[in-house]
A and B are shown apart, each in its own frame.
Chain A
């Protein structure tokens, strides 16, 4: 395989893996901040225990998110140096601001939060977790500002063969960013929320610490339903922006080769043949694509073949059609997972509203347990659709993926790094799942004895050596 393909595999795999943890961090930070706020306001120790228990999971997850994030910053230079040379002027700025404004905030205040329970006042401690939550969100904003530039480049001019920034304000008010940021951050809140409801449901089913987990469930369910619905609304806005700025991605995500007709129907299922450039056996909902694209029940959507001809006129000969099947199915997986989240969230609301949480259905609680997987599935599918759908471009209309790769690295080097990173990531993933299960099994009231200090003879006899 060549360096482009290997670098793409590395970027995709490390980014997808990294993005299992980021939304959990963003979501859990918010929930923990809410729980600790309730503790500070009500003085109920159970809420403190909640912040600490979910905090334990948060920290394990945060550690993996942070360390896999370092690679993200470095591999633009390592694997995509020609890309970095071309857009560094514009793209580098939000990354640098992210480090300066968000990473420092998160890392410093997470330190205060972990080690400061008895060293700072309750209020300062509470402020720390809110600042961590704010920092993770800020971090998302800047990284999405950078990503939005790749989807829809604004605020720059081409000088001396490279993109140079000429309007920073345009970069941070990019229309793409304004729809992508709420969609992504709300999805992250939903991810944290469904993790908490899922684990709580499991513990309620097991009848362990029921009061504790019922409270956790309720807080998270409220955050979960609000953010799930918010994701859908923001997603709708994003689809409309897509039709305007990246119509090819939209057409590919619909498997639409020719014109859609007016009003345009939405394809639920289709047999797509990229070789013959046609889709067969489609099952369609009338009017829906028009609504998705324009918020009204009329309007035509352009197909891939027409756009291909337009792009050849604009950018020269080449294949401008992204991997259609991947784009098509990832979009549907995302929508399906998102819909299920809303359904589960609504039912949880119904139970809480009718005060039926005392005797919830076992089958429903089992669904909630499996519901943990829905947000990560939707998140991953969403990113796959966004990034695959942009191919062959790294920066839409400006630079192709093939031209972005580092010319001075060999495929052997990249193969080596792909294998090493995949291996270490696989180990991290397994260890993390194991530790999660261990913490969950122990529950909130038996947390702190992991070290087993009593096995250390030094502790019993020689402890005054140090004092």
Chain B
């Protein structure tokens, strides 16, 4: 049986996997608006294709952070104060992005739309990049002292390894988003999205490979959980190859599932590598934060478990239902809200 601490580690992992899988594609679509769309109408089709979903997708991140706060307060505190500046930028980007969707169509002026389009692009590029940088530096190790305080310098956070991780996730989001576009649009736009996704597979493969190799040499996670991670990497390769195969066969739904699987497996590998640690100290192993020394008390975890298990089925139920409600493709001839 899982202990409550393990269960909450798994739940938080699931929330972040869900976040990267779901918001991953709407980040991707947000980026596409800059180079897949040829004109304003196409841009609007793209934005409307994620219109009903992006807000709920972002809540996965908020719930993940909230769960961290409640179940592992030390993790939450060390993480958010330690990465102060990256989070300022991520927040500014998310703030600009969120209002941009609502604001961009409210005035008929080219400069106005360009401004908010830029916000959508930056807001879709920067958060996944920064979050990937943060997660990668988790497994590389950070200067965390005996008081669980993290005093990180610039290069502790931004280095070759974390930047490669950031770019990998950004490109993965983009490909995943392009596949989502093939599911929600028609005709030329759909065909172009598929083609672009296919073309981006090679650079993505190179980045993923670089990330895995660097992880092998620069972190201890393969020493810790070699077998499980090897399986995840193998599954990742299979999913990646299948995504390319399905793209050529124009089986877009399956291809989308596979790009999502690559994303999910990448995030999973980070959490598997961390476990049972939640943050690794580069100063001394003894200062690692773990699912035991960073956690809330037993009572708190028990209450939270009961609450979460009661509410979660409803949340999943109506979110899946909402994707069903908007399963039809977005067409430029119908009413576009945004």
Contacts and interface: CB of A to CB of B under 8 A. Distances in A.
A120 B328 CA distance: 12
Interface stretch (B73-81, B194-202, B263-271): B73-81
A361 interface: no
Interface string B299-338: 1100110011001100100110010011010011101110
Given A104-B59, A114-B52, A119-B325, A78 B81 contact: yes
Contacts of A450: 105-108
9 contacts: A66-B98, A68-B95, A78-B88, A81-B81, A87-B73, A95-B69, A108-B319, A119-B328, A438-B106
A314 interface: no
B186 interface: yes
A466 B76 contact: no
A79 B41 CA distance: 42
B108 A88 contact: no
How many of chain A's residues touch chain B, expressed as a range?
Answer: 35 or more
Given A95-B70, A108-B56, A67 B325 contact: no
Most A C-beta atoms less than 10 A away, residue of B41, B296, B297, B331: B297
Contacts of B228: none
A458 B312 CA distance: 45
Given A103-B59, A105-B318, A420-B88, 5 more contacts: A67-B95, A104-B56, A416-B85, A458-B42, A466-B45
A424 B96 CA distance: 8
Contacts of B42: 458, 466
A104 B76 contact: no
A70 B304 contact: no
A247 interface: no
Interface stretch (B60-68, B132-140, B218-226, B254-262): B60-68
B51 interface: yes
Contact of A92 (B69, B81, B318): B69
Nearest to B302: A168
B103 interface: yes
Given A74-B80, A119-B325, A92 B70 contact: yes
Interface string B20-54: 00000000000000000011111011001001110
Contacts of B59: 99, 103-104, 107
B300 A164 contact: yes
The 5 closest A-B pairs by CB, nearest first: A88-B73, A77-B80, A92-B70, A452-B108, A111-B52
A398 interface: no
Interface stretch (B147-155, B170-178, B232-240): B147-155
Interface string A171-205: 00000000000000000000000000000000000
B92 interface: yes
Contacts of B150: 408
A109 B333 CA distance: 25
Nearest to A83: B77
B179 interface: no
Contacts of B97: 67
B79 A115 contact: no
A77 B134 CA distance: 15
Contacts of B98: 63, 66-67, 70
Interface residues of B, number: 84
A77 B95 contact: no
B55 interface: yes
A306 to B, nearest CB: 36
Contacts of B106: 60, 435, 438-439, 450
A100 B318 CA distance: 13
Contact of B84 (A70, A101, A413): A413
Contact of A100 (B87, B149, B189, B311): B311
A438 B297 CA distance: 52
A88 B63 contact: no
B53 A77 contact: no
A92 B296 contact: yes
Contacts of A101: 307, 311
Interface string A406-432: 111100010011001100100010010
A60 B101 CA distance: 10
A215 B78 CA distance: 53
Contacts of B73: 84-85, 87-89, 92, 162
Nearest to B143: A408
B81 A166 contact: no
Most A C-beta atoms less than 10 A away, residue of B42, B91, B303, B319: B91
Contacts of B62: 70, 73, 99, 103
Contacts of A71: 91, 95
A413 B85 contact: yes
Interface string A436-467: 00110000000010111101101100010111
Given A116-B325, A420-B88, A88 B77 contact: yes
A313 interface: no
B102 interface: yes
Contacts, number: 262
A343 interface: no
B69 A84 contact: yes
A305 interface: no
Nearest to B113: A451
Given A60-B102, A99-B66, A70 B56 contact: no
Given A63-B99, A67-B99, A92-B66, A165 B297 contact: yes
Contact of B77 (A70, A77, A112, A465): A77
B82 interface: yes
Interface in A37-83: 59-60, 63-64, 66-68, 70-71, 73-74, 76-79, 81-82
Contacts of A64: 99
B58 interface: yes
A334 interface: no
Contact of A164 (B53, B296, B304, B337): B296
Nearest to A448: B335
Contacts of A114: 51-52, 337
A129 to B, nearest CB: 14
Nearest to B186: A466
Nearest to B307: A97
Given A164-B296, A164-B300, A459-B41, A467 B331 contact: yes
A99 B70 CA distance: 11
B164 interface: no
B126 to A, nearest CB: 13
A119 B62 CA distance: 28
Most B C-beta atoms less than 10 A away, residue of A73, A164, A450: A73
Nearest to B82: A408
B238 to A, nearest CB: 32
B88 A59 contact: no
Contact of B325 (A98, A120, A413): A120
B303 A409 contact: no
A92 B333 CA distance: 47
A92 B315 contact: no
Contact of A111 (B51, B188, B315, B332): B51
B71 interface: yes
Nearest to A90: B300
